[in-house]
């Protein structure tokens, strides 16, 4: 039962991260919305609470070469 709860929570967290990533990317892309830094910080704070990694949704560096 505990394992099922852990699996359910992991799936729920992953689903939340997908939606938060979508919102975060939208806020970054649509710069006409005004001052969005507090919203991005709030999203990062929440992601840190649920995953322990504040930068989980940040774009990863890619190397070409």
DSSP-assigned letters across all residues of 19-55: HHHHHHHHHHH-GGG---HHHHHHHHHHHHHHHS-TT
- Residue 62, judged by CB atoms within 10 A of its CB (0-12, 13-18, 19+), counts as exposed
- The whole-angstrom separation of Cα 65 and Cα 43 is 33
pLDDT at position 3 is 83
pLDDT at position 61 is 61
Quick one: average pLDDT of 4-12? Answer: 91
Quick one: average pLDDT of 20-25? Answer: 94
pTM of the model: 0.76
Q: How much is the mean pLDDT over the chain?
A: 88
pLDDT at position 64 is 61
């Amino acid at each position: 039962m505990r394992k099922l709860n852990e699996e359910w929570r992991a799936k729920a967290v992953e689903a939340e991260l997908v939606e938060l990533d979508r919102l975060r990317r939208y806020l970054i892309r649509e710069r006409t919305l005004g001052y969005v830094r507090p919203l991005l910080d709030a999203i990062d704070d929440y992601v840190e609470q649920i995953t322990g990694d504040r930068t989980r949704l940040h774009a990863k560096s890619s190397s070409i070469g």
